[in-house]
Amino acid sequence: MVPPDRREAHWMKWTAADHDDLVRIIEREVDDPRIVDAFRSVRREDFVPEGAEGEAYEDRPVPLPNRQTTSQPSLIARMIDAAAIEPDDRVLEIGTGYGFQTALLASLAREVVSVDRYPELVEAARANLADGGFTNVTVILGDGWDPIPDRGPFDATIVSAAAPEIPDALVDQLVEGGRLVIPLKTGRGELVELFVKTATGMRRERHITPARFVPLVRGVDA
């Protein structure tokens, strides 16, 4: 997740006043009508801390506890679009936050497994997703660097924290042909990249956007 000082370097930020405005922003960002419909059906105000509802429809990060955020909606849309989620897919998400992106993924996929290292965020996301009626989601307290026993393989993985390299566990848990969307640290900053798993390893497909995220930290917060 991106830090609450809002240094995220996504290439464009729009202004939204309400839910309908935010949906129109997403229509400008992506061509996939399923993603637009997901944003139409999932209200961001249901996935922000109490008192932050007024910020929910601005196209920018909203701070969460533990110096985390729910990421900029237009950036989320582009990352989900790159992952090319199909209705029968099983999706792994690293970095649950309050569950907004999780809910969007659950609207698009057969099953979502989401991992966060902060117990407070896991508890909040579980409650938010249950209140929203999402029954195809499992939120786990864990470490994005570690395997998730008995949960894979996955057709797509989206990571909301920056890593210096692709964690082996994420590669191992992808099916061949599976997509990985992840921010990677480079000498020029951080770039969100799309990879596809092949028989010989991970193939970089394309850059999605520059952005700035908190690091993908090893271990679980006590």
Task: Give how far Cα 109 sits from Cα of 9, 93, 201, Å.
Answer: 28, 12, 24
Residue 161 to residue 132: CA distance in whole angstroms: 25
Catalytic annotation on 114? Answer: no
| Sequence-separated (6 or more) residues with CB below 8 Å from residue 118 | 65, 66, 68, 221
Q: Which is catalytic among the residues 41, 71, 74, 114?
A: 71
- In whole angstroms, give the CA distance from residue 28 to residue 52: 25
| Other Cβ atoms within 10 Å of 38 Cβ, number | 21
DSSP class of residue 76 equals: H
Specify the residue for token string 């290439």: 11
Active site residues: 71
